[in-house]
């Protein structure tokens, strides 16, 4: 059975993952939500106005009332700088199954932050909440996301034709990845 831990802070070597706050909107907009490089392979378009980011954050903040909601703001421990967001979306409570999703400001790519944050969120998902399976879905052209999932130990399980519609309206083939709790715990022995 899932433990309804909600979004609790997580500390890693360089990062503090914490709940979003209303005051984060300006930096979230500036650092990644308004950047078309970030949203290239996402379903949502880069935000044109700060109001869009405020609305997204307000929605997530309201969702924190649900103890099975997991949206973290990713900040640098030293400076408190907000560099991205990472979530676990519950796909099915009965099946104890969630999907990981993330986006980071392009200025922070390639420094291992995505890996560090996602590794901590997988640990939280398996060890604290008790998911049986965590999945990742990415557009086939989204090589950095595919590699990130593979480096994290998720296994590529399928290729799905025209599975997702991107923000430009085009349909893209996607890879699906999955990691089972039993494989996660075995890899840590």
Residues of this chain that interact with ligand COA (CB under 6 A) are: 38, 41-42, 102-104, 109-115, 138, 142, 144-145, 147-148, 151
Shortest distance, CB of residue 147 to ligand COA, whole angstroms?
A: 4
Q: Is 57 left (phi over 0), alpha (psi -120 to 50) or beta?
A: alpha
Shortest distance, CB of residue 55 to ligand COA, whole angstroms?
A: 19
CB closer to ligand COA out of 4 and 144: 144
82 burial class (0-12, 13-18, 19+ CB within 10 angstroms)?
buried
Shortest distance, CB of residue 46 to ligand COA, whole angstroms?
A: 11
CB closer to ligand COA out of 64 and 108: 108
Cβ-based neighbours of 47, under 8 Å, separated by 6 or more: 29, 33, 34, 53, 56
Shortest distance, CB of residue 1 to ligand COA, whole angstroms?
A: 29
CB closer to ligand COA out of 144 and 170: 144
CB closer to ligand COA out of 60 and 102: 102
CA dist., res. 118 & res. 149, Å (int): 9
């Amino acid at each position: 059975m899932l433990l309804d831990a909600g979004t609790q802070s997580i500390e890693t070597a360089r990062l503090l993952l914490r709940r979003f706050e209303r005051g984060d909107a300006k930096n979230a907009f500036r650092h990644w939500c308004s950047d078309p490089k970030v949203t290239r392979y996402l379903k949502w378009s880069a935000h044109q106005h700060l109001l869009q980011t405020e609305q997204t954050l307000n929605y997530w903040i309201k969702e924190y009332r649900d103890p099975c909601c997991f949206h973290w703001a990713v900040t640098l421990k030293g400076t408190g700088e907000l560099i991205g967001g990472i979530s676990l979306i519950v796909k099915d409570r009965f099946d104890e199954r969630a999907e990981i999703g993330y986006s980071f400001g392009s200025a922070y790519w390639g420094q291992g932050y995505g890996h560090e944050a996602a590794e901590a969120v997988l640990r939280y998902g398996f060890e604290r909440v008790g998911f049986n399976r965590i999945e990742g879905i990415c557009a086939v052209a989204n090589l950095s996301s595919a590699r990130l999932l593979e480096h994290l130990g998720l296994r590529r399980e399928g290729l799905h034709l025209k599975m997702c519609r991107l923000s430009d309206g085009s349909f893209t083939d996607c890879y699906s990845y999955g990691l089972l709790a039993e494989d996660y715990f075995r890899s840590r022995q």
